[in-house]
């Protein structure tokens, strides 16, 4: 049974993975997605603050990881005066 890279098997049934959320991005694409400067992404990646995948000298990001990371940064406290 031949499966493409985007398919996994679940028992005897082949199921397509949801690859749209796991889109790989380079550092420029990640900066655009996060709406910040490329230098900020480099710095925060070096500090270990942003989840990334290192492949040789390349730094890659999963869109789903960035979204989860952003959601985790939400403040649960109100910032304004009561």
Residue bearing the bigger pLDDT, 62 or 82: 62
Residue bearing the bigger pLDDT, 34 or 1: 34
- The answer on pLDDT for 12 being more than 60 is no
- The answer on pLDDT for 64 being more than 90 is yes
Residue bearing the bigger pLDDT, 13 or 50: 50
Contact residues for 52 (Cβ-Cβ < 8 A; gap 6+): 45, 59, 60, 61, 65
């Amino acid at each position: 049974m031949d499966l493409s890279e985007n398919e996994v098997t679940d028992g005897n049934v082949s199921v397509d993975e949801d690859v749209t959320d796991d889109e790989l991005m380079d550092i420029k694409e990640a900066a655009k997605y996060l709406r910040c400067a490329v230098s900020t992404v480099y710095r925060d990646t070096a500090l270990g603050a942003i989840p990334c995948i290192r492949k040789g000298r390349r730094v890659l990001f999963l869109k789903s990881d960035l979204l989860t990371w952003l959601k985790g940064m939400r403040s649960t406290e109100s910032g304004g005066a009561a």
